[in-house]
Amino acid sequence: MAYAAPLREIEFTLSAMAGADALGGLARFAEAGPDLRAAVLGEAAKLCEGALAPANAAGDAHGARLENGVVRTAPGFAAAHAALAEGGWYGVAADAAHGGMGLPHAFWCAANEMISGANLAFSMCPLLTVGHIEALEAHAPDWIRALYLPKLTSGRWTGTMCLTEPQAGSDVGALTTRAASNDDGTFAITGQKIYITWGDHDVAENVSHLVLARTPGAPEGAAGISLFLAPKFIPGADGAPGERNRIKVLSLERKLGVHGSPTCTMAFEGATAWLIGEENRGLAAMFTMMNNARLSVAMQGVGLAGAATAMALGYARERRQGRTPNGAGPIVEHAEVRRMLATMCARTAAARAVAYACAVAGDMGRAEDAPGRAGWAARAAFLTPIAKAFCTDVGFETASLNVQVHGGMGYIEDAGAAQLLRDARIPPIYEGTNGIQALDLVGRKLADGGEAARALLAEMAAGSDAPALAEARAALAATTDWMLAAGREDRAAGAAPYLRAWALTFGAHLMARGAAADPSFAPLSAVMQTRELPAVSALCREATDGAAALEALPLSDAAAFA
């Protein structure tokens, strides 16, 4: 499928809604003003349109294959990786000390949106590698950073995260992979990991694995997990890949979508590894990386939503069917088709705005000289689960609406809409299911007594005074109070609708800000308010319904009504 990067929409969102222009005023990102940003993102757009999108259909049809223990990627994927590496994209937000560009994470997010919209299966390779780089930057000893980071930021090596085991999915604390000390500073890792994205491949010369495992005698559960680094080929001091480590790919998953992304079941058979960070503090180390990875997955949702919306608009502007109000016009002139397209455009714009607002807050929170830095960091933390869940849900919803706009053609695999739908179903699941995100929101993210939530509500109240926005804010504020007073189960029972209410309200708020900056954006902001915001009151009612009604359902009983 042809892919046209939504460069103007991204630029407008960053600048007029998410406040990214402020980043250029900070010492840390002094060069990252609007001019550099436009130049950098323009390059990303070209690369996505020219090298990544053309390989997308082949990735789906061909898939990744396991041949004699080695993963072979689909035609065009090695070239996509090479183009991305050559452009320096793996290190765009990494520290300049080890080959990175030191640009804001928000710039990486914008590139990632385009990469994901062009080729979701491929996008997971840079997504995991960027997360890997962040984890090493934050937690690895100096010699590992010096040895690994230049390889990773240049894209000569790629990185993975090895968390999940068959019995330990959402509950990472239940994992059983063991790490025994080799008495030479290294460890021997033994265990099986599943769902390892890009766990092996043929597009780069080495693969660096971050592995969660338990040392002997470690406490049970989450408190006894440590983080290790285990490369596919053990590098010499000069960085040249050496001996093959004892890591095997046992199989690849046959998945609904993202066929081009190799999802590996991997056996660590006494693999040589190095401890990253402190012993038994692996989960905390992994979490610093996962927060950014969650935002990266949110960007996948935005990328998919943008691609689906563009595909639907393109089809609806060409396809003629039935009598339109103006005669025999294309189906975009049918009110019911316009309704679907308007829903897609509004939700995509809201998702994009929420995601970039989160990204900019994260950059502000990381910049030493940002005024109110702690507040920005809290804002980013609060918005991360909202962005991850909402953007990925919107990615799937718009992909499904895209199929519907295409009618029968949407159900045929050749048209591209079906692949987009299949691909779009994974982001709501991985990197913490969207249910986990909602629980994070009503748990950890309200554990500050509602400070971050109330700061956002106050900011919104100082914005547009449109009645639809005021109504949504009032419902959200009351629901926030309810959540803060409620017990754990009651909060959990309303977590998902509460998260969606937040996303719609904050998204509509940012879109109103966009409309104030550019009147040509006002019609979409108006549709967001009249067609999407009414759901907030309903969501808040569901959010405050409590756990009792759910507990009254005999769901555990196979003999009961269902």
Residue 401, burial from CB neighbour count under 10 angstroms (0-12, 13-18, 19+): buried
Nearest distance from residue 270's CB to a copy of itself, in Å?
26
504: amino acid identity, one letter: L
Residue 162 touches a copy of itself, criterion: CB under 8 A = no
Mutual angle of helices 488-517 and 534-543, in 10-degree steps: 160
Nearest distance from residue 474's CB to a copy of itself, in Å?
15
HSE (CB half, 13 Å, CA atoms) of 555?
5
| Residue of the chain from 154, 309, 464, 505 that contacts a copy of itself (CB under 8 A) | 309
Residue 1 touches a copy of itself, criterion: CB under 8 A = no
Nearest distance from residue 485's CB to a copy of itself, in Å?
17
Straight-line distance from the first to the last Cα atom of the chain, in angstroms, rounded to the nearest whole number: 42
Q: Which is nearer to a copy of itself, 42 or 236 (CB)?
A: 42
Residue 333 touches a copy of itself, criterion: CB under 8 A = yes
263-276/187-197 β-pairing: antiparallel
Residues in region 461-490 near a copy of itself by CB under 8 A: 489
What gap in Å lies between CA 459 and CA 547, rounded to an integer?
A: 31
| Residue of the chain from 322, 371, 372, 467 that contacts a copy of itself (CB under 8 A) | 322
Residues in region 353-382 near a copy of itself by CB under 8 A: none
Residue 538 touches a copy of itself, criterion: CB under 8 A = yes
Q: Which is nearer to a copy of itself, 273 or 391 (CB)?
A: 391
Q: Which of 398, 396, 397, 390 is nearest to 505 (CA)?
A: 390
Residue 345 touches a copy of itself, criterion: CB under 8 A = yes
| Residue of the chain from 27, 39, 374, 560 that contacts a copy of itself (CB under 8 A) | 560
Residues in region 184-213 near a copy of itself by CB under 8 A: 194-195
- Three-state secondary-structure class, residue 493: helix
Whether 243 is a known active-site residue: answer no
- Sequence-distant (6+) residues with CB within 8 A of 340 are 312, 401, 404, 405
Residues 499-528 vs a copy of itself: string with x where CB under 8 A? ---------------------xx-xx-xx-
- Sequence-distant (6+) residues with CB within 8 A of 470 are none
- Sequence-distant (6+) residues with CB within 8 A of 297 are 127, 388, 391, 392, 427, 430, 431
Q: Which stretch binds a copy of itself (CB under 8 A): 15-23, 204-212, 341-349, 476-484?
A: 341-349
CA 10 to chain centre: 16
Nearest distance from residue 366's CB to a copy of itself, in Å?
31
Residue 216, burial from CB neighbour count under 10 angstroms (0-12, 13-18, 19+): exposed
Residue 2 touches a copy of itself, criterion: CB under 8 A = no
What gap in Å lies between CA 20 and CA 91, rounded to an integer?
A: 20
What single DSSP character describes residue 464?
-
Q: Which of 55, 49, 40 is nearest to 122 (CA)?
A: 55
| Residue of the chain from 142, 408, 449, 462 that contacts a copy of itself (CB under 8 A) | 408
Q: Which is nearer to a copy of itself, 17 or 51 (CB)?
A: 17
Q: Which is nearer to a copy of itself, 84 or 499 (CB)?
A: 499
Residues in region 8-67 near a copy of itself by CB under 8 A: 8-9, 12
| Residue of the chain from 27, 39, 335, 462 that contacts a copy of itself (CB under 8 A) | 335
Q: Which is nearer to a copy of itself, 72 or 334 (CB)?
A: 334
Q: Which of 147, 112, 105 is nearest to 126 (CA)?
A: 112
Q: What is the 3-state secondary structure (H, E, C) of 266-300?
A: EEEEEEEEEEECCCCCHHHHHHHHHHHHHHHHHHH
Token pair of 507 as six digits: 């998204």
Active-site choice (113, 165, 431, 532): 431
Nearest distance from residue 170's CB to a copy of itself, in Å?
6
Look at phi and psi of residue 360 and say left if phi exceeds 0, alpha if psi is from -120 to 50, else beta.
Answer: alpha
Residues 410-429 vs a copy of itself: string with x where CB under 8 A? xxxxx---x--xx--xx-xx
Q: Which is nearer to a copy of itself, 192 or 404 (CB)?
A: 404
Any idea which residue has 């249910």 for tokens? 435
206-213/157-162 β-pairing: parallel
Residue 340 touches a copy of itself, criterion: CB under 8 A = yes
Token pair of 50 as six digits: 């020219």
Any idea which residue has 């009612």 for tokens? 541
Nearest distance from residue 407's CB to a copy of itself, in Å?
5
311: amino acid identity, one letter: M
Mutual angle of helices 120-139 and 417-424, in 10-degree steps: 30
Residue 387 touches a copy of itself, criterion: CB under 8 A = no
Q: Which is nearer to a copy of itself, 137 or 440 (CB)?
A: 440
What single DSSP character describes residue 170?
S
506: amino acid identity, one letter: F
Q: Which is nearer to a copy of itself, 11 or 43 (CB)?
A: 11
Nearest distance from residue 333's CB to a copy of itself, in Å?
7
Q: Which is nearer to a copy of itself, 207 or 539 (CB)?
A: 539
| Residue of the chain from 178, 246, 281, 541 that contacts a copy of itself (CB under 8 A) | 541
Q: Which is nearer to a copy of itself, 288 or 324 (CB)?
A: 324
Nearest distance from residue 399's CB to a copy of itself, in Å?
10
Q: Which stretch binds a copy of itself (CB under 8 A): 50-58, 75-83, 164-172, 200-208?
A: 164-172
Residues classed as catalytic: 431
